[in-house]
Every structure is written in C-alpha cells, then in structure tokens.
C-alpha cells in the first residue's frame, strides 16, 4: 500500500512538469515575387517562422517520427501553428526591398502534452482518409491561405467566443469559398463542418480574411479550402 501511495505521489508530482509550457523559437525569411505585396510577404514569413519553430520542437519530432509523408507533416504543422502556439512574440523583424526579402523570428510557448495529443489524433484522422491528398498550406483554384491565427469573431460567427482568422490571397478572379474547418471526435470520426461566407476575388493578389469558430478542446480539427 505504501509503495502504491509513493508511486501515485510521484506521478502527481510529475503532472505539473509534463503540463508546463515550454518556449520554442523559430525564424524564417521569404523572398517575394513582383506579383506579391510586401504585406503578403510579411504574413508568409511569419507563418514560415511558426512552422520552423514546430518542426524543430522535440515533442513534435518524436510524435511524427514514424510519419514519412512530407505533405502530411505540412498539414499537421499548419494546424498546430494556427492554434497551439501561445503567447507568441515577434523577436526580430528585417526587410530588404532590394533583395525582395522579408525575415521574421518568433518565440512562443507550447504545452508538450497538448502538442503530442493533437499530433497523434490528427495522424489518426489522416490515416482514416488515405484517399485524400494533404496539401500543406491549404489552397484551392482561387485561394491560397498564408496565415492562420486566433482573433476576434466577425461576420456569421460574431456570436462565437473564439475564432480563427485565416488570411488568404486570391490566385485569380471570381467568387471564392473560404477555408473550411472540420471537427473530429476523439476517435477521428468527422463530427461537423463550418465555413465562412464566400467572398469576391476582384483580382489576383487580393488579400481576403475569413473567420472560423475555434473548436472546443475536446475536438481535433482540420482546415482546408474547398474548390
């Protein structure tokens, strides 16, 4: 009985350590083309810095050690960078218009157990959908998503308490469906899908923002852009 109590006490003492937030850094530079604005380049550089931070985080590396599909890892990073980097701070900003280069460095906190659980859950989702091809940064024939972050709720989801804000860039002209969020239960079974109202791409390079309700903690999610 005493050994049992000692073991329980040791595990209880470890829980705060396992749940403690850990800081991770990330840095990236982006070379933008003549068809891209520096505003878009800044968003892409920030997104790449977030991705680099997660790609080098040991818990993520260990959790995806058996994943050989590069596109699958990209999808995982996109989802995790959008919702599980906490207290994010930009620690470095540099821009070189002559070289058309924008650089960003960030520092954020992550919860090890949260990252591990979400990674495993999303890998199980992708295994259930082997016929679908993951695409890293979500895009459709008209839109490419360049940034996903938490923000205020607007539009049709303005009554929601928390939202994702997806920044997208138009690839052409037309009415574009925005990013779509699909919620999955703990077994990886699709539960529901929500998406913002379509928006007008008046020309290539236009920046559009879409809002999506942040799912409850019990759900894993995947974000894509329907064609």
DSSP 152-179: ---GGGTTSS-EEEEEEEESSSEEE---
pLDDT band (50, 70, 90) for residue 117: confident
Share of residues in the chain with pLDDT > 70 (%): 80
Take residue 210 and report the two structure tokens written for it.
Answer: 């879409």
CATH number for the domain including 151?
A: 2.60.40
State residue 10's pLDDT score. 40
Does residue 5 form part of some domain?
no
| Domain region containing 26 | 21-132
Does residue 162 form part of some domain?
yes
Give the Cα separation of 91 and 104 in Å (integer). 8
Selection from 37, 25, 26 nearest residue 146 by Cα: 37
**pLDDT digit string, tens, across residues 146-181:** 888 888 898 888 888 889 899 999 999 999 999 998
Strands 163-170 and 143-151, by their bridges, are antiparallel
State residue 66's pLDDT score. 66
Residues 50 and 110 in one domain: yes
Does residue 8 form part of some domain?
no
For 148, left (φ over 0), alpha (ψ -120 to 50), or beta?
beta
Instruction: Give the CA distances from residue 77 to residues 83, 108, 141, 198, in Å, rounded to whole numbers and listed in that order.
Output: 10, 14, 22, 26
CATH number for the domain including 89?
A: 3.10.129.140
Residues 127 and 26 in one domain: yes
Take residue 130 and report the two structure tokens written for it.
Answer: 């082997």
Residues 120 and 75 in one domain: yes
Mean pLDDT of 35-45: 89
**pLDDT digit string, tens, across residues 123-135:** 777 666 654 444 4
**pLDDT digit string, tens, across residues 181-223:** 888 776 666 778 899 999 999 998 899 999 999 887 667 788 8
**pLDDT digit string, tens, across residues 73-108:** 777 787 788 778 889 999 999 999 999 999 999 999
Instruction: Using the CB atoms, write b or e for 113-137: b if 16+ within 10 Å.
Output: ebbeebbebbbebbeeeeeeebeeb
Phi/psi at 171 (5° precision): -100, -10
Residues 95 and 30 in one domain: yes
Count the domains in the chain. Answer: 2
Residues 190 and 218 in one domain: yes
């Amino acid at each position: 009985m005493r050994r049992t109590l000692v073991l329980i006490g040791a595990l209880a003492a470890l829980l705060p350590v396992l749940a403690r937030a850990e800081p991770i850094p990330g840095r990236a530079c982006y070379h933008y083309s003549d068809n891209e604005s520096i505003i878009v380049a800044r968003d892409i550089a920030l997104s790449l810095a977030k991705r680099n931070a997660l790609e080098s985080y040991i818990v993520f590396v260990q959790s995806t050690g058996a994943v050989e599909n590069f596109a699958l890892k990209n999808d995982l990073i996109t989802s995790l960078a959008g919702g599980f980097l906490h207290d994010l701070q930009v620690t470095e900003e540099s821009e070189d218009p002559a070289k058309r280069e924008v650089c960003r460095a960030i520092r954020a906190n992550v919860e090890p157990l949260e990252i591990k659980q979400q990674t495993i859950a999303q890998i199980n989702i992708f295994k259930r959908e082997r016929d679908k091809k993951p695409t890293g940064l979500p895009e459709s024939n008209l839109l490419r998503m360049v940034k996903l972050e938490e923000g205020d709720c607007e539009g049709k989801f303005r009554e929601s308490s928390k939202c994702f804000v997806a920044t997208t860039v138009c690839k052409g002209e037309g009415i574009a469906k925005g990013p779509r969020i699909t919620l999955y239960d703990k077994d990886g079974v699709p539960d529901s899908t929500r998406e913002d109202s379509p928006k007008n791409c008046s020309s290539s390079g236009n920046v559009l923002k879409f809002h999506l309700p942040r799912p409850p903690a019990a759900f894993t999610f995947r974000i894509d852009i329907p064609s």
